[in-house]
Amino acid sequence: MKSILSRLFGPASGAASAHTAQSAALVVAQLLIEIARSDLKVQDAELAVVREHLAQAYALSGAELDGLIAEAGRRVDAATSLYDTVKRINDAFSHEQKAGLMQALWQVAYADGRLDAYEEALLRRMAELLYVPHEVFIGEKLRLLEAQ
């Protein structure tokens, strides 16, 4: 799992790439936080999965991770829509990266052992906005359920 996430979301080399990786980490964190909050109760298990994904994908220390999650939370609070976040992902992520992101989103949604209707509705909306084909959307869900 770690190698998949690192390959899909991981930082590239160089100073410009480091900025791009930070930017990617922030938009990914925003969507993961959106899913965790979508049922109006952020469970510890959901937050743990968010932290795990971000730490593995971007090789972040505890303090960096805390800062990233706090900033993502502030941006989610201030956002009036998903458009800006999704546009940044659509501009920068490949189809494979979007499928990996969808996998991470499903894992956050199921982290507490159940899928809330609000979580599923938001996942479906995100998949549409990210132009993730329905078969990929459902495939990632089924892959997660089979692994449990």
- Cβ pair 108, 46 in contact under 8 A: yes
14-42: pLDDT as tens digits: 433 444 556 889 999 999 999 999 988 88
Reported as type and span, the H/E element at residue 51 is: helix 44-58
Q: What total of structural domains would you count in the chain?
A: 1
130 is in which domain, residue-wise?
2-147
- The better pLDDT of the pair 148, 136 is held by 136
Q: What is the pLDDT of residue 49?
A: 95
Tokens, residue 11: 């930082």
Residue 30: CATH number of its domain: 1.10.3680.10
Q: What is the pLDDT of residue 11?
A: 46
With bands split at pLDDT 50, 70 and 90, how would you rate the model's confidence at 3? very low
**Burial group, residue 97, by CB count within 10 angstroms (0-12, 13-18, 19+):** middle
Number of helices (H), then strands (E), belonging to the chain: the values are: 8, 0
- Cβ pair 83, 31 in contact under 8 A: no
pTM of structure:
0.84
Is it the case that residue 54 has pLDDT exceeding 70? yes
